[in-house]
Amino acid sequence: EAQVTQNPRYLITVTGKKLTVTCSQNMNHEYMSWYRQDPGLGLRQIYYSMNVEVTDKGDVPEGYKVSRKEKRNFPLILESPSPNQTSLYFCASSPKGGKRDTEAFFGQGTRLTVV
Amino acid sequence: AQSVTQLGSHVSVSEGALVLLRCNYSSSVPPYLFWYVQYPNQGLQLLLKYTTGATLVKGINGFEAEFKKSETSFHLTKPSAHMSDAAEYFCAVSTYNQGGKLIFGQGTELSVKP
């Protein structure tokens, strides 16, 4: 089954403790991205990757890191989480290098709480 | 710059009634527009999209949307609501750079009353 898989689905952590949210897709998509969803703000892009070893900042990159060593994986790293990073996170992938007319396929989300 | 505005954060309809979710966009280039649906505890799923061509676009689950350039709108409709339609709906526009990044509206939560 074609899918984007995120882990974990739920995570509660303490301020300053490094964490990684994994994302993997099995559709051989070039383009992957991370979004955060906050009430009243919709989804906002954190980082994106056009292909292996190519990553760039989205609209809200502060406090986050990503890497793209393999085509299928795109982990999101929070080096020192803070309470304002409490949010619902989505990983997404798209074929065709992320052209404008292609749909994005989303993972099921990771609900992160930083206390 | 491109942006999307969804009018109404919550919409409530009765089962069998018309569903109308409003979306207006701003774009300096011809927009590519999407509607996504998010069911509880799930990721986003594409309902429909407009790129070029026919302005009335049909999607899954009986939904459709009409692109109106003169009104900069892309409202989502369904003639008869079903209980299973209760979800959050997002309108989005894809950018002409950054690999087609999606810019989302604030979302509209649809409730369906029996």
CB contact under 8 A, B32 and A101: yes
B9 contacts in chain A (CB < 8 Å): 40
Query: A91 to chain B, minimum CA–CA distance in Å?
Result: 9
Residue A97 pLDDT grade (very low, low, confident, very high; cuts 50, 70, 90): low
Tell me the CB-side half-sphere exposure of residue A18, using CA atoms within 13 A: 4
Average pLDDT score over chain A: 93
State the Cα angle at B104 between B58 and A76, rounded to 5°.
120
Give the β-pairing of B10-14 and B108-113.
parallel
* Probe site for chain A from B94, B95, B96 (most A CB atoms < 10 A): B94
Tell me the CB-side half-sphere exposure of residue B66, using CA atoms within 13 A: 6
| pLDDT above 80: residue A68 | yes
For position A74, what pLDDT does the model report? 98
| pLDDT above 80: residue A102 | no
CB pairs under 8 A between A and B: 73
List of chain B residues with pLDDT < 50: none
For position A95, what pLDDT does the model report? 83
CA distance linking residue B35 with residue B44, whole number of Å: 10
CB contact under 8 A, A101 and B34: no
CA distance linking residue A23 with residue A41, whole number of Å: 23
Among partner residues A42, A98, A102, which is closest to B90 by beta-carbon distance?
A: A42
Q: Searching chain B, which residue's CA lies closest to the CA of residue A109? A: B43
Kindly state whether B40 is in contact with chain A, defined as any CB-CB distance less than 8 angstroms. no
| pLDDT above 90: residue A25 | yes
CA nearest neighbour of B23 among B45, B53, B49? B49
How confident is the model over A2-17, as a mean pLDDT? 96
Residue A98 pLDDT grade (very low, low, confident, very high; cuts 50, 70, 90): low
φ, ψ of residue B51 to 5 degrees: the values are: -120, -70
Residue A93 pLDDT grade (very low, low, confident, very high; cuts 50, 70, 90): very high
Point out which residues pair with B21 in neighbouring strands.
B76
Question: pLDDT per residue over A26-67, tens digit each?
Answer: 999 999 999 999 998 999 999 999 889 999 999 999 999 999
Query: B101 to chain A, minimum CA–CA distance in Å?
Result: 8
